[in-house]
Amino acid sequence: MTRTYEVVTYGCQMNVHDSERLSGLLEDAGYCAAPEGDQADVVVFNTCAVRENADNRLYGNLGHLAPVKAKRPGMQIAVGGCLAQKDRDTITKKAPWVDVVFGTHNIGSLPALLERARVQEEAQVEILESLEVFPSTLPTRRESAYAAWVSVSVGCNNTCTFCIVPSLRGKEKDRRPGEILAEVEALVAEGVSEITLLGQNVNAYGVEFGDRQAFSKLLRACGEVDGLERVRFTSPHPAEFTDDVIAAMAETPNVMPQLHMPLQSGSDRILKTMRRSYRQERYLGIIERVRAAIPDAAITTDIIVGFPGETEADFLDTMEVVRRARFSGAFTFIYSKRPGTPAATMEEQVPAEVIKHRYDRLVELVNDVAWDENKRLVGRRVELMVAEGEGRKDAATHRLSGRGPDNRLVHFTPPPAVETPGAVRPGDLVTVEITRAAPHHLIADGPVLDVRRTRSGDAWAARTTAPVTASVGLGMPGLGVPDQLPAAAPACG
């Protein structure tokens, strides 16, 4: 009987993309995705090491699985990703029932490690110190028929004092532009309408082969791919954000008017301590130039509260940047001390109660600003790409959900079948008029004004199992990312 698997993902879009590779590898090796609600024969945790709660959740879940595994002979558990790269032998000491531990540089080894652990009846720990095979050469099981990640680089050359990622994923390695475009074209040929270019520091792309304008050129080249409706990218670094990228965004119709650019802090003093090589005015200057070139751009960010040494004055600087930047949303984080980072040993760690008070004030301001920005869209017509599973209450409200060009989430009422033969499908494009606004979403309760069928919708409708495809070329494994990839495939025998 075919063995089943489940991949549980913690962390960023990089990890989600890696999990698609892990799923593809397992299916290529003969495994089948476990039906939703069923216990899988192989459970793979793809981990993050950026925040402490990821550690806690991993070990908590491993603890819950221990008695399950004891009752299921042959069940296997694997742990990979950034936390595995960092903790190595610690995982099998804390959870000796784990069968396989693998790192960020050798995800392609998972099927062989599982088989070796089964045959030898002992845990297999394999952690490579550097990348040997770019993950984009590996098979992929994409969760979406209409949207896909495309990696442009792997690793990071920055040395932010709060971040452990560079030591786990290594120095930046860039793919060649032709390899990236070949993958994009192959995905579009499969029916993908939207791609997101991924990099730990995506706009530094080209540093390895000496072209400082490589990223803007790549954006423009994506604009020439026939059938590609939407192009997004994440995450850029303000220090490398240049005007040629702004021009490429403004002048390439399928590059969406959306920018996610991490701020981390609005205080120049804290930014210096973080080793973030920009300051408040440079950051705000980038936003001003983006909005001058792309007036409808929605800008989101990441902010850390309670970095060591942060004073009330530093925090108020961050609040001021939020007011001036007019973010459409922000991912706000309480500073988490990560062993192995310079910030972990800094003096003046901020008391937890102070951090909590600041965090609550920041979240309130972010929500107020985002709500005000969303209200400006009431009465405006927006073309949405219909999404799958974005709205948690869609079934109860009989609505569907979609993303606008600026990536705002919109819940809308689908047209009756008599008006639009066949259901509106994920990947199709619909035009609606915004009727209401909330801090984190918009609502369009009026009629759908137009429906544009896409090949993505056709691909979704025809799909009975998620495809396993070999990506073209060489590449790498990136806010608001699901913590767990759903088991989308039907039951298998």
pLDDT at 244: 97
Q: Give residue 258's pLDDT.
A: 97
> What was the pLDDT predicted at 140?
72
Q: Which two tokens stand for residue 43?
A: 């459970």
- Within 13 Å and on the Cβ side, how many CA atoms surround 52? 11
pLDDT < 70: residue spans in the chain: 50-54, 129-139, 417-422, 459-493
The CA distance from 363 to 330, in Å, is 8
Tell me: cis bond preceding 401? Omega within 30 of 0 counts: no
Burial class, 347, CB count within 10 angstroms (exposed 0-12 / middle 13-18 / buried 19+) = exposed
* Bridge-based pairing state of the strands 400-403 and 381-386: antiparallel
* Tens digit of each residue's pLDDT (9 = 90 or more) over 29-62: 999 999 988 999 999 999 877 666 667 788 899 9
48 known member of a binding site:
yes
Helix (H, G, I), strand (E, B) or coil at 110: helix
pLDDT for the residue numbered 476 = 26
The confidence score (pLDDT) of residue 51 equals 66
* Type of residue at 80: G
**Which residues touch 446 (CB under 8 Å, ≥6 apart)?**
413, 432, 433, 435
Position 302 scores a pLDDT of 96
The predicted model scores a pTM of 0.80
Question: 26: Cβ–Cβ under 8 A, 6 or more apart, which residues?
Answer: 5, 7, 42, 44, 110, 111, 141
222 is in an annotated binding site: no
The structural domains of the chain, ordered by start, are: 4-132 (3.40.50.12160), 144-256 (3.30.750.210), 265-376 (3.30.750.200), 381-457 (2.40.50.140)
**What does the pLDDT look like over 191-216, one tens digit per residue?**
999 999 999 899 999 988 999 999 99
492 labeled part of a ligand binding site: no
- What's the CA gap between 370 and 481, in Å, rounded? 19
Residue type at 486? P
Provide the 10 A C-beta neighbour count for residue 178. 11
Rg (CA), the chain: 23
Is 32 annotated in a binding site? The answer is no
